Amino acid sequence: MPELDLHTARVRFTLYASMIPAQAKEFGLECFREEAKRAQVAAAVNALNSQQKAEVALLLDDHGYQALGLAVHNAGVGILLSLHTLGLAEDYTFFRTSPSGAPAAPALESDYTKMGEWWEELGKKDDVPLRWGGRFHTVDMPHFSWAWGGRL
């Protein structure tokens, strides 16, 4: 399948991602979306190494922006060109459910693997570039995305 334009890819990804909660339920899991669209500035901060984050945090603190400095200091790890910034990736947290249906415990790695393999198979079946972060060099189990522009 030729690569779609960004708008069409986002629309299609949204439709596929909307299937995740129902599939989780079939596997005896509940889920919530941790992160979907990430601002480019957040991706840029996440891409900084810890020394760079500390320097930026001190600079912000010195100029009276203590709360922002703390946010930079505590920022997560990520990549500048994340598919989250394009609306083509979402992160999910899964929970195992009890027999009563109530969330009982955090999901196991095997639960994430089951969801990830389902996601990949769905992509193969429909010939669309669905990718799961459990296969990445730096494993990112909660990550479900639509590969686009050479990015996973």
- Residue 4 pLDDT exceeds 60: yes
Strand partners, 90: 144
Q: What is the mean pLDDT of the chain?
A: 84
Region 11-38 average pLDDT:
91
pTM for this model (two decimals): 0.74
- Long-range interactions of 66-75: CB distance < 8 A, separation 24+: 72/45, 72/48, 75/42, 75/45, 75/46, 75/48
Comparison of pLDDT for 58 and 108, the residue scoring more:
108
Kindly provide the b/e burial profile for residues 71-106, where b requires at least 16 CB atoms within 10 angstroms of the residue's own CB.
ebbebeebeeebbbbbbbbbbbebbebeeeeeeeee
Tokens representing 57 are 């945090």
Query: What pLDDT does 120 receive?
Result: 98
Region 59-63 average pLDDT:
79
Q: Cα–Cα distances in Å, from 67 out to 25, 48, 55, 138?
A: 39, 18, 15, 30
Query: What pLDDT does 81 receive?
Result: 60
- Residue 68 pLDDT exceeds 90: no
Confidence tier at 59 by pLDDT (50, 70, 90) = confident
Span of 40-44, 59-63, 111-115 with lowest mean pLDDT: 40-44
Query: What pLDDT does 78 receive?
Result: 60
- Residue 74 pLDDT exceeds 70: no
Comparison of pLDDT for 110 and 87, the residue scoring more:
110
| Distance, CA of 35 to CA of 86 (rounded, Å) | 12
- Residue 51 pLDDT exceeds 60: yes
Comparison of pLDDT for 67 and 100, the residue scoring more:
100
| 97-116 pLDDT per residue, tens | 887 867 679 999 999 999 99
